Amino acid sequence: MKIAFTSKTGEMIDLHFGQAESFQIWEVGPEEADFIETISVGEHGADEEDRIAARAKLLADCAIVYTMQIGGPAAAKLVALKIHPMKTNTEVSLKETVERFQEVLRGNPPPWLRKAMNKGQMASFMED
| Tens of pLDDT, residues 28-49 | 999 999 999 999 887 655 556 6
**pLDDT value at position 43?**
63
Rg of the chain's alpha carbons, rounded to an integer? 14
Kindly give the parts of the chain with pLDDT less than 50. 122-128
**pLDDT value at position 120?**
58
**pLDDT value at position 112?**
84
Mean pLDDT of the chain: 87
**pLDDT value at position 122?**
44
Give residue-wise pLDDT tens across range 3-12: 999 999 999 9
The CATH class that applies to domain 2-127 reads alpha beta
Q: Which of 70, 57, 52, 61 is nearest to 6 (CA)?
A: 70
**pLDDT value at position 125?**
35
- Alpha-carbon distance of 3 to 23, in angstroms, equals 9
The answer to whether the CB of 119 falls within 8 A of the CB of 1 is: yes
* pTM of the full structure: 0.86
Beta bridge partners of residue 38, listed in sequence order: 24
**pLDDT value at position 21?**
86
Q: How far, CA to CA in Å, does 124 sit from each of 9, 121, 127, 128?
A: 30, 5, 5, 6
